A and B are shown apart, each in its own frame.
Chain A
Amino acid sequence: MTTASEAPAVGLTHQGSEDTGLGHRGPASKSIVVPYGFWLFILSDMVLFSALFASYATLVHATDGGPATNQLFDRELVAVETLALLSSSFVCGLAMIAAKRKNMQLTQVWLLLTGLTGLVFLGIELFEFGKMIGEGAGPQRSAFLSSFFTLVGCHGAHVTAGLLWLGTMMAQIWAKGFRQDIIRRLLCFSVFWHALDIIWVAIFTIVYLIGTLP
């Protein structure tokens, strides 16, 4: 296949070469391109969160005489939250395994469990936010609390969006079956859900555990 006329490409240009950059078999299939594109979105989301983490780390001591990290956070509550989100991530993986084998009942059951554990997580987080705001430790109290609510709230907003997406996916699988494009969407959802768990690992370590060290 390789002919003598194929000149070596210089840098990023394809001058003098027949190579289009797509390989000899044309562009990659959708089952490769779609998850890859979504993976790039997830990584850009992580960069967004890194900026929020950086602002939190900068402002964590700017309490303006208000409550500091040690007086606000409850470790037992965070442990339950962590367990809920981790099991949600695990069950989501089981749903993917069932979906790959086109098992409707098992997929729906696992997806429902994913959603319920996600709801438990979100409920605890909203309860914590409500308690803090009730104690006068709302986002307008100090720069530290503003950055805290931005960081953790942004994660919570992602979880909320994920739950809506999850409901949509359950309905789509129910109505349209395990079509190729539906499976791709489900795969993207599972990547999104696992990535949220990774961000939560950083949050519970940096915000809650290091924040409550004696």
Chain B
Amino acid sequence: MTEHEPELHNVAPGEPHDNMLTETLSYVIGLGLALLLTGISFWVASTGTLWGPGVATGLVVLAIAQMGVHLVFFLHITSGPDNTNNVLALAFGVLIVFLVMIGTIVIMAHMNANMSPMPELMNLQMQKG
């Protein structure tokens, strides 16, 4: 296995290959990065030293970063040519996920804001009846 050593430098991170040691190392790096990002997330949420209103946004950014780590090091989604189909499918999936989530949240927030208060509505119906 050692005679393939020079080729290893051409392998994208997380891409499966034949050397057991470096393959394991890819998972170890992934675990390390995921633990680091999880730790930062829990620390950011508990500490009071950061500017409060920005914490939620920071947490979402950390979560997206950790999802990226999982995709590359655990699921082996890479930029390699044999991975193009998977990446394109992922891109479409991410598009739909964001459309559903952001679309729902924006529309429901608007409808909540425009909804007339409940007691007045009840009164109106009572008067008509």
Q: Besides A54-B105, A213-B55, 12 other CB < 8 A contacts?
A: A36-B89, A46-B93, A58-B105, A58-B108, A83-B38, A93-B27, A97-B27, A195-B75, A198-B71, A206-B60, A209-B45, A213-B45
Separation of A212 and B41 alpha carbons in the complex (Å): 13
Separation of A36 and B93 alpha carbons in the complex (Å): 13
- B125 interface contact, C-beta 8 A: no
Residues of A close to B92: CB separation below 8 A: 43
- B35 interface contact, C-beta 8 A: yes
Q: Judge whether A46 and B97 touch: CB under 8 Å.
A: yes
Separation of A204 and B41 alpha carbons in the complex (Å): 10
Q: Judge whether A82 and B97 touch: CB under 8 Å.
A: no
Separation of A210 and B93 alpha carbons in the complex (Å): 24
Residues of B close to A209: CB separation below 8 A: 41-42, 45, 59
- B56 interface contact, C-beta 8 A: yes
- A165 interface contact, C-beta 8 A: no
Chain A residue, CB-CB nearest to B97: A50
Q: Judge whether A57 and B104 touch: CB under 8 Å.
A: yes
Known contacts A54-B105, A194-B70; is A86 also within 8 Å of B45 by CB?
Answer: no
Nearest 4 interchain pairs by C-beta: A43-B93, A54-B104, A205-B63, A50-B97
Looking at the complex, which one of B35, B52, B96, B101 makes contact with A214 (CB distance below 8 Å)? Answer: B52
Chain A residue, CB-CB nearest to B109: A58
Interface centre among B24, B35, B74 (most CB of A within 10 A): B74
Residues of B close to A86: CB separation below 8 A: 31, 34-35, 38
Identify 21 residue pairs between A and B in the complex whose beta-carbon atoms are under 8 Å apart, listed by A's number. Answer: A39-B86, A39-B90, A47-B93, A47-B96, A50-B100, A54-B105, A57-B105, A58-B104, A75-B42, A75-B45, A75-B46, A87-B31, A89-B70, A93-B27, A97-B24, A101-B20, A202-B63, A206-B63, A212-B45, A213-B45, A213-B52
